[in-house]
């Protein structure tokens, strides 16, 4: 599982926990608005204090997880670009592809799959700040530009 998927899962869990906490707070407000029929405010306050302690424990548990997700999120794949083309003259149909996978800093890699009648070649090249660390084909450069929104 890549970092983006993990980050999305943790963010979704945090959203559901926050929704649950909001519902608990709404329930607490309703309980506070109603005066107990037996007039025992002390028991009500103890119950509310216990509920608040549970909510605080959940929030305390979520905070480090959320910070971890926030730290890893910039490193997740954020941008993709795909270019299809005919790599060799002996086969058509644009079966060859160059795929750029970049994070929010423009770092990542470009993968090229060159499909021919008798062979298929596979290449990967590193990308730093939106540029290849080695010479790129025009199709690989186009995939990076497409991923970066140019």
Which tens digit of pLDDT belongs to each residue from 86-103? 988 778 889 999 999 999
Average of pLDDT values for 104-110?
93
Q: Any idea where the domains of the chain sit in the sequence?
A: 3-75, 79-147
pTM here? 0.58
Contact by Cβ (8 Å): 3, 72:
yes
**Mean pLDDT, the chain, whole residue set:** 86
101 neighbors 143 (Cβ within 8 angstroms): no
Sheet holding 120-128, edge to edge: 79-85, 96-102, 108-115, 120-128, 131-132
Q: Look at residue 133 in the predicted model and tell me its pLDDT.
A: 93
């Amino acid at each position: 599982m890549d970092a983006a998927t993990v980050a999305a899962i943790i963010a979704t869990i945090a959203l559901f926990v926050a929704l649950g906490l909001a519902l608990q707070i709404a329930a607490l407000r309703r309980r506070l608005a109603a005066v107990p029929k037996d007039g025992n405010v002390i028991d009500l306050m103890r119950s509310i204090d216990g509920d608040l302690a549970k909510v605080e424990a959940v929030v305390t548990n979520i905070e480090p997880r959320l910070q971890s997700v926030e730290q890893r999120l910039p490193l997740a794949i954020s941008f993709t670009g795909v270019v299809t083309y005919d790599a060799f003259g002996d086969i058509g149909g644009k079966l060859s592809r160059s795929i750029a996978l970049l994070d929010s800093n423009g770092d990542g890699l470009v993968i090229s799959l060159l499909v021919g009648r008798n062979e298929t070649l596979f290449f990967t090249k590193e990308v730093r700040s939106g540029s290849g660390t080695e010479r790129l084909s025009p199709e690989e450069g186009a995939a990076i530009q497409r991923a970066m929104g140019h």
